[in-house]
A and B are shown apart, each in its own frame.
Chain A
């Protein structure tokens, strides 16, 4: 299977199964429309009114060469590597909901402004310790284990964050593990002391801000309705600079109310941030904020506009990274990872303040998906297998999709929210993902040619 597209005057061809990417001139690009169904002579006939015969023959021979080298129309040998349901699942990452309370009331919050539809609650040190023990016990031979402190707002329960980090560090050597910590914060409670602690202990920090002040403050405001931009911006700059502009993300959400989100990305870049992620809202069905099919043409233009600006800035030394444009074509994830997807529900789980286990942070609060509790032995194997057995080979819509090895089947929570089935991809999300990947490949092509 191949995917061919023209973006900003470049003809790009992706060989889906090998992962090879090429830039074609117009002749070779046009030939691909006929290559699989017609003989060389027929193709020459069809294109002879447009191109010189000798040029068509040359281009045909180059396409033949790519095909013979398995860099075009290559086969798919991966089906047999699909994760086996009956093999024991290994847990390697936990999203620890350290606080089910928040000092913001963001309009699009999938966590119901922090409480995930339940009681506002804080995780105790005891539950946190049990979560670490649970992870170690279920991680098999995996050495690298990840903990993301999430909320609500995790800084509202910061002492327990510290307690859990200290406990995990105490345990890791004995169990031959390496813990990596991430903290996701809205920034309101950051101060010099806790910034120092965060920079010394967290491998990654995700700093929530949506971009321009008016856009941010319309969505992200305090209980009294006051926006947070002016308070958080200087703190986020401080933390990013203290980390040498690495191992962090400023992370925003865009909704139907700011479909011109490229301006928010550029705003964050203009403020000096180098690691930026601004992403489409997800769990906003029926809120009026959700992105719809009719929004896609405008969103596609935004991604293109951003890709163009991205390349210009990187060329001029004003570089920044945009999370969804970062594709490493040579040393990216292996095919096994690409088949397995995000790992939610089997290798990645979420833990609530009460110690309840869910497939991921997006499922927290949905009793149907409660898989157990860290205080008890074992977890619900049927739910774990449901997620483990959900991948690009089990999702009908993914079979013919050229982007399947880039998104790995998409987000299960998206699928569930829109179709009540984790195996039916969320179409608007898929279309945006494909556009992002096209832009990312265009950027690579532009920077490498």
Chain B
């Protein structure tokens, strides 16, 4: 495409297929302890 660059097209909808195993790290345990960001956690079920 000339006008648009796709940075990421992996869709969250795809993650419905294998998501929800619950094995990933609890976000607050990683570093923050005060300000919630979930999207920077890793998936354990890649």
A interface residue numbers (CB < 8 A to B): 17-25, 27-28, 55, 58-59, 62-63, 65-66, 69-71, 74, 77-78, 81, 90, 92-93, 95, 110, 142-144, 146, 148, 150, 180, 182, 184, 204, 206, 249, 251, 253, 277, 279-283, 323-324, 326-338, 341-344, 347-348, 360-362, 405-411, 413-414, 429, 432-433, 436-437, 440-441, 444-445, 448-449
Contact = CB atoms under 8 A, between A and B. Distances in A.
Contacts of B1: 62, 65
A254 B46 CA distance: 34
A407 B34 CA distance: 12
Contact of B26 (A17, A28, A280, A348): A348
22 contacts: A19-B10, A21-B8, A22-B4, A22-B7, A28-B3, A62-B4, A71-B11, A144-B25, A277-B31, A283-B34, A327-B39, A333-B39, A333-B42, A334-B16, A334-B18, A334-B43, A336-B15, A341-B36, A342-B38, A348-B28, A405-B12, A437-B39
A411 B10 CA distance: 27
Nearest to B34: A282
Contacts of B43: 331-334, 337
A443 to B, nearest CB: 11
A249 B13 CA distance: 32
B8 to A, nearest CB: 4
B25 to A, nearest CB: 6
A19 B7 contact: no
A408 B28 contact: no
Given A92-B22, A326-B40, A74 B30 contact: no
8 nearest CB pairs, A to B: A334-B19, A336-B20, A334-B15, A93-B26, A329-B8, A19-B12, A408-B38, A406-B39
Task: Among B33, B42, B43, find the residue whose CB has the most chain A CB atoms closer than 10 A.
Answer: B33
Interface of B: 1-13, 15-16, 18-20, 22-46
Contacts of A281: 34
Contacts of A23: 4-5, 7
Contacts of B26: 92-93, 146, 342-343, 347-348
B4 A279 contact: no
Task: Among A77, A332, A444, find the residue whose CB has the most chain B CB atoms closer than 10 A.
Answer: A332
A362 B9 CA distance: 37
Nearest to A180: B25
Contacts of B8: 19-21, 329-330, 444
Contact of A143 (B23, B35, B46): B23
